[in-house]
Structure 1
Amino acid sequence: MKNIAVIGAGTMGNGIAHTFAQKGFNVHLIDISEASLERGLNTIAKNLDRMVAKEKITEADKLETLNNITTFTSIAEGVKASDLVVEAATENVDLKLKIFEQLDEACDENTILATNTSSISITQIAAATSRPTKVIGMHFMNPVPIMKLVEIIRGYNTSDEVTNTIMELSKALDKVPVEVNDYPGFVANRILMPMLNESIETLYNGVAGVAEIDTVMKLGMAHPMGPLQLADFIGLDVCLSILNVMYEGFKNPKYAPCPLLVNMVRAGKLGVKSGEGFYDYSSSKKAEVVASQFLK
């Protein structure tokens, strides 16, 4: 397995492309937007520069990694001759189903199709193709070049051969693959998202403020980042989407998103990506607690 196509040049997509390219794979990074591709490549270059500065890689390693990446705005062109396609588009089920229909038509019959979804059913995605045995979840953690875990999610029809291949491939990336079954949220988000949602509920109910909640979890539970700041980092829209998938999948009220989270997303307060969430990330400030109507 040498040729890898990555769909989506956003935060996860460019991180996945970076990781494969640094390990010597030929990577086709695909996005409908040239501007997104340019931003993705710039992000990869900046992350590689940090690694050079820390003497983790050489300048030659950086250039080789960048040379291993080719960009495309066409899925049909970008996935040609790919051994594996990793879809890392927005966490939207209709979009993913449409992409997998396109991939099924454009890819060789032996190409493995993986999705980086953090919550959506692999079985449902696989059903949009004529190759459900070759569809699998490959859920990387953010930031991809640093985080070791990859959740490997088997759909109902995913074959043993494909699962074993992706497990070994993940190890070749110096990742630690963990095989899990296909239920909403899988393992990581089934446990993480209710904690984040409960932290937002704690704020919403006036038990404590943003800084106080995060401080309790950092100092009391040894978390490297407080849950509200972590939600900002993930993206409040992403958190809401995952919680909605879990709520719809289980029909259990414990997964219902907090009204404060819903309102903040409606207001465009999405966390780091929008410059403001529970904290302010504007150019003159660094993660300062927001004093807004949503937190009263």
Structure 2
Amino acid sequence: MPMASNISTVAVIGAGQMGSGIAQAVAKHGYQVLVYDVAENRVSESVEGGARYFSRQAQTGKMSESEAQGAVSRIRGAFALSDLADADLVIEAVSENEALKTTVFRDISKVLKPQAILATNTSSLSITRLAASTDRPDRFLGVHFMNPVPVMKLVELVRGIGTSQETFAAAKDFAVSIGKSVTVSEDFPAFIVNRILIPMINEAIYTLYEGVGNVEAIDTGMKLGANHPMGPLELADFIGLDTCLSIMQVLHEGLADSKYRPCPLLVKYVEAGWLGRKAGRGFYDYRCDPPRPTR
């Protein structure tokens, strides 16, 4: 698949699960990728994780050995924002925290070349408001990948009020060039996918909170009764309960509708640090094999 014109080097800010997945998907399709994080050990872990991912791809016959080696060679670590100065496209993938993202955009704007496109992987926050913290609202937009990025086919593109048509077209060409299907959302809280998905998860947590069913009953009901590949509580653990809570808060505050009130049980789990898989415990205890429901 041809690469997008005017984009050859892509920088990813944030070397967590999402950022690392984005780097892998982008490198696989011929782009040079720079991975940056304030925690230098996470940068190294992300680059090493990419090497392991492509090695598995070659071992299972999904890529040739030479293709895998080429992809590995295209992912490099960056240890200062100034290392990203020559990037044609920068994708921010830090935690779903508006103050943190705003700080990132203000800092990166100082070093980027004028024609570079700046994108956010936010799953819920206002693109227009985030764009206002940059020096290039016309070259800023939301490019929302789904998790896990190398597997999931969808990218949501979200324009801010100032996003130019040229920027949108370039971002769409880029998403298609890395094998993704594109859906376009208007700039409303949580966009399309999470506007529908996260309230469903929140309702599942209310169902647990009110004692309608236990964790196993709720997840089994939705897997076998609605043909969902994962139950909503299992999915919440996979996404991260802190991320689910953050998105519900954005919906509740942004739309001022009581139907988006976060379930008190979700709040309690986050307060306890039971954030799901990444913390070893959420609605399931992942310290057990197989994981055991916690309620």
Q: Return the TM-score normalized by structure 1.
A: 0.95
Q: Corresponding residue for 1:54?
A: 60
Q: Corresponding residue for 2:193?
A: 188
Q: Corresponding residue for 2:151?
A: 146
1:49 Cα deviation after fit: 2.8
RMSD: 1.0
Structure 1 runs (4+) deviating above 6 angstroms are none
Q: Corresponding residue for 2:233?
A: 228
Runs of 5+ in structure 1 lacking a partner? none
Deviations 1:162-187 (A, max 9, x none): 11111111100010011111010000
- Asked if 1:18 corresponds to 2:48, the answer is no
Q: 2:217 aligns with which of 205, 212, 216?
A: 212
**Count of residues in correspondence between the two structures:** 289
- Asked if 1:6 corresponds to 2:50, the answer is no
- Asked if 1:201 corresponds to 2:206, the answer is yes
Q: Secondary structure of 2:77's partner?
A: strand
Q: Corresponding residue for 2:4?
A: none
Please identify, of 144-153 and 245-254, the stretch whose mean Cα deviation from structure 2 is larger: 245-254
Alignment partners' CA distance in 2, 1:42 and 1:258: 38
1:33 Cα deviation after fit: 1.2
1:19 Cα deviation after fit: 0.8
- Asked if 1:278 corresponds to 2:283, the answer is yes
Deviations 1:111-156 (A, max 9, x none): 1000000001100110011211110000000110111000000011
Q: Secondary structure of 2:185's partner?
A: strand
Runs of 5+ in structure 2 lacking a partner? 1-6
Q: Secondary structure of 2:110's partner?
A: helix
Trace 1:1-296 onto structure 2 (pairs within 5 A): 1-77=7-83, 79-282=84-287, 284-290=288-294, 295=295
Alignment partners' CA distance in 1, 2:257 and 2:46: 38
1:50 Cα deviation after fit: 2.7
Alignment partners' CA distance in 2, 1:255 and 1:123: 22
Please identify, of 11-20 and 34-43, the stretch whose mean Cα deviation from structure 2 is larger: 34-43
Alignment partners' CA distance in 2, 1:173 and 1:198: 34
Deviations 1:60-95 (A, max 9, x none): 222211110111121122x11111000000110000
Q: Return the TM-score normalized by structure 2.
A: 0.96
